[in-house]
Amino acid sequence: MATYSFVDHWHFDAPLDIVWNEIADPLDWPAWWPSMKRVEEIEPGDAQGLGALRRYTVKGALPYRVSFDMRTTVIDAGQRIEGIASGDVEGRGCWTFSADEKTTHVRYDWMVETTKRWMILLAPVMRPLFAWNHHAVMRRGQHGLAARLRARS
């Protein structure tokens, strides 16, 4: 397997609770995140969403899609959402939130291994493009959420 570790930072001139509500509702991500082609709920989890299992289909700038299931393992309202991924990628994703006087800061840590054979075989040569594609997906999400919130990012 090919292992990747990405850290992305989003900043919005918007209240933390509004940013949290959007990110904590992944079923609605395709409405504002162009790279999120589909998010399906497989299992709802508890009332806060803990234990929820969702299937994500993502299409970046490169001509391929990645699908994975994500089980929500941690929800610390207003501070952190964490999950375990399985499928085309396996590993862990973690959203963390903080705010100062007027800006909400969002950090996403994505530590995964690819499981698609072609991605594993091409990783020695394609790793920089795969990383670029990941960050392009995340930039599209940041811009999409900023537009939805009518906030500067």
Helix, strand and coil in the chain, % to nearest 5: 30, 45, 25
Residue 78 has phi, psi (to 5 degrees) of 80, -5
Are 129 and 135 in contact by the 8 Å Cβ rule? The answer is: no
Cα–Cα–Cα angle for 61, 20, 44, nearest 5°?
85
Cα–Cα distance, 41 to 151 (Å, whole number): 28
pTM, entire model: 0.94
Helix residue ranges per DSSP H, 24-116:
none
Asked if pLDDT for residue 69 goes beyond 90, the answer is: yes
Q: Tell me the per-residue pLDDT of 17-30, one tens digit each, with 9 for 90 and over.
A: 999 999 999 999 99
Residue type, 31: A
Are 7 and 107 in contact by the 8 Å Cβ rule? The answer is: yes
Q: Tell me the per-residue pLDDT of 108-151, one tens digit each, with 9 for 90 and over.
A: 999 999 999 999 999 999 999 999 999 999 999 999 999 999 99
pLDDT of residue 38: 98
Residue 105 DSSP label: E
Asked if pLDDT for residue 1 goes beyond 90, the answer is: no
pLDDT of residue 153: 84
CB atoms within 10 A of CB 117: 8
Residue 61 DSSP label: S
Look at the domain 2-149 and name its fold: Alpha-D-Glucose-1,6-Bisphosphate; Chain A, domain 4 (3.30.530)
